[in-house]
Amino acid sequence: MTEKKPIASANDTPFPDETIPSGNDTPSPVEAVPSGNAIPTLWIILGVFIVLLLIAGLIVAVTLMINNPAQTETFRDIMIIFMAFESLIIGLALIIMLIQLARLTNLLQYEIRPILEATNETVGSLRGTTKFLSDNLVAPVVKANSSFAALRRAIELFDFRRPK
């Protein structure tokens, strides 16, 4: 006996990475996604390259600073001015943040809290109304309906009609 192999459809390929040409050169979304290991490897290589580039730049900068002390002093003075300006900007941003925080606190205390209290009062009133309706309207109606249902069932069981 010979063993028969199933016929593969056009979409079945022996290797998942192979694709069947479809006539157009645009890849499908499944084909466009790179494999799972390619992305982390690329990021690792890029990160190592950037770190090496920063180390090389630092070495070149230190060498230039040692060889040119006058330019180093000028660069130092410019950096001091830059850091002072940055401190002013950060201080201004902190002041604006504190003002916004005070406005938020004011909003919560004087506008949101009264709304929540009114909502809580409305919910309490609604709870009382539903309790009143349940006790005084729904419960008696349910009791009357159950009594009528019991009476109807008793009449059906004792069937006082004459047999035919």
Position 53 in a domain: yes
User: Is 23 a member of any domain?
Assistant: no
Question: Does residue 2 lie within any of the structural domains?
Answer: no
Quick check: is 95 in a domain? no
Residues near 13 by beta carbon (within 8 Å), at least 6 away in sequence: 19, 20
pLDDT, one tens digit for every residue, the chain (164 residues):
555 555 555 555 555 555 555 555 555 555 555 555 667 888 999 999 999 999 999 999 999 999 999 999 999 999 999 999 999 999 999 999 999 999 999 998 899 888 999 999 999 999 999 999 888 888 888 999 999 999 988 888 887 665 55
Domain count, the chain: 1
Helix (H, G, I), strand (E, B) or coil at 162: coil
Does any domain span residue 114?
A: no
Q: Is 100 domain-assigned?
A: no
What's the CA gap between 62 and 71, in Å, rounded?
Answer: 12
Q: HSE (CB half, 13 Å, CA atoms) of 160?
A: 4
Q: Is 63 part of any domain?
A: yes
Determine the structural domain holding residue 45 and report its residue range: 38-67
Residue 43 lies in a domain: yes
Q: Model-level pTM greater than 0.85? A: no
